[in-house]
């Protein structure tokens, strides 16, 4: 069995792509998968299929259809959904709500305690994004006890952002399972050069590359991430 928390150095860098690709590749190998996106901001109830949770469900073979069962399917993997495309705490506050940290941790732990060969919890925003007045994303990650997979981009500035995220994890005694560079739309240098630069300062953390893929369902055609499935 393998259990991961998919986090990142920021937002819109490819967490869902990597999560869905891992789900797809595991299922292609005949492995059972449990995947969650417990907290989601920027959710449009009129178009749930294209949301992060909708993409994860599709990668699990549970495509949303617009029918009555969609809400229940979303509730199973993403119970805290908010409309505003901003940090989770701000998005919740705009709706007069809060994210109950203890409930969030319990929900994540319970799902990951099941018998699936591969278990994934996808975070929201970057590793230091706020969840509420007292908790950050890294607090949730630490409380789950899951090994983080840090997804980063290849845009200008990503080296500093990535090393800062790694430093935050190291300061909490959390060892990443891998850094995954998901190629950004704008990359000033080839991602391989970014990987080489990161490798000099990342203390031997495995670095994987996912080249940018155009078109629909790119997670079905993503680079091989099988090294993360070796413990399944």
pLDDT at 56: 96
**In the chain, where the domains are located:** 2-229
pLDDT at 231: 76
pLDDT at 181: 97
pLDDT at 232: 73
Task: Please give the Cα distance from 126 to 115 (Å, whole number).
Answer: 28
CATH architecture label of 2-229: 3-Layer(aba) Sandwich (3.40)
The reported pTM is 0.95
Residues 163-203 pLDDT 10s:
999 999 999 999 999 999 999 988 889 999 999 999 999 98
Q: pLDDT exceeding 90 applies to what percent of the chain?
A: 83
Task: Please give the Cα distance from 6 to 122 (Å, whole number).
Answer: 5
Is a pLDDT exceeding 80 seen at residue 116?
yes
In order, the DSSP letters of 107-132 are HHHHHHTSS-SEEEEE-SS-TT-B-S
- CB atoms closer than 10 angstroms to residue 65: 11
Q: Which of 37, 165, 187, 191 is catalytic?
A: 37
pLDDT at 217: 85
Active site residue 15: no
Is a pLDDT exceeding 90 seen at residue 104?
yes
Residues 38-97 pLDDT 10s:
999 999 988 899 999 999 999 999 988 777 678 889 999 999 999 999 999 999 999 999
């Amino acid at each position: 069995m393998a259990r991961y928390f998919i986090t990142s150095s920021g937002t819109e860098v490819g967490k869902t792509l990597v999560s869905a690709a891992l789900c797809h590749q595991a299922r292609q190998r005949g492995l059972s998968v449990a995947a969650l996106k417990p907290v989601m901001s920027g959710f449009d109830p009129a178009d749930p299929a294209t949301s992060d949770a909708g993409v994860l469900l599709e990668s699990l073979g549970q495509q949303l259809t617009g029918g009555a069962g969609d809400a229940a399917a979303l509730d199973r993997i993403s119970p805290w959904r908010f409309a505003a495309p901003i940090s989770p705490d701000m998005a919740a506050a705009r709706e007069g709500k809060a994210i109950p940290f203890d409930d969030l941790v319990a929900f994540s732990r319970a799902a990951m305690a099941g018998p699936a060969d591969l278990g994934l919890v996808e975070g929201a925003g970057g590793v230091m994004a706020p969840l509420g007045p007292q908790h950050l994303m890294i607090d949730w990650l630490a409380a789950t006890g899951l090994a983080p997979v840090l997804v980063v981009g290849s845009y200008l500035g990503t080296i500093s952002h990535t090393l800062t995220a790694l430093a935050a994890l190291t300061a909490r005694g959390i060892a990443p399972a891998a850094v995954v560079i998901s190629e950004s739309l704008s990359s000033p240098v080839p991602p391989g050069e970014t990987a080489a630069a990161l490798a000099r300062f990342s203390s031997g953390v495995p670095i994987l590359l996912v080249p940018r893929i155009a078109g629909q369902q790119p997670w079905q055609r993503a680079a091989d991430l099988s090294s993360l499935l070796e413990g399944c």
